[in-house]
Amino acid sequence: MLKSFYDKMPIRNKYPAQDKGTMHKQIRQAVDDFQSLNLGKQAGVKEILRKYVYGEIGLEEAYYDLLDNELILMPQRCGMHGKIQEDEKDLKEYIKSRLFS
């Protein structure tokens, strides 16, 4: 079955941007679940987060790259989520300590 043009579009073009709290939560979850991923997905997660940690890409680009490559799950569109009070510096330090130390 052929995919339509819409199906081939990157996720970032189909859905509105998520709030930073959701992005942080899902990236942190990807780091926490890293060891349970297969080797191919581990390599993909690690490469995208390496670029993020070292400033090659921003938070939003890292988040949508993870979504586009099916390395994190699409967030629920509706629901209550607690606000995460974490800045990007803390998130980068968390990623470095778990994946790059």
* Alpha-carbon gap, residue 93 to 98, rounded angstroms: 9
**What's the pTM value of the predicted model, to 2 decimals?**
0.72
How much is the mean pLDDT over the chain?
82
Give the H or E element holding residue 97. Answer: helix 88-99
DSSP result, 8-63: HS-HHHHSPPPPHHHHHHHHHHHHHTGGGS-HHHHHHHHHHHHHHHTTSS-HHHHH
> Is 40 inside any structural domain?
yes
Domain assignment present for residue 29? The answer is yes
Is 56 a domain residue?
A: yes
> In the predicted model, is pLDDT for residue 78 greater than 80?
no
Is the residue at 71 inside a domain?
yes
Question: How many domains, in total, are found in the chain?
Answer: 1
Please indicate, yes or no, if residue 61 is contained in any of the structural domains.
yes
- Which pLDDT tens digit goes with each residue over 4-52? 544 555 655 556 556 888 899 999 999 999 999 999 999 999 999 999 9
Give yes or no for a contact between 53 and 95, defined as CB atoms under 8 angstroms apart.
Answer: yes
Q: Please report whether residue 1 resides in a domain.
A: no
Structural domain harbouring 20: 14-99
Which residue type occupies 93? E
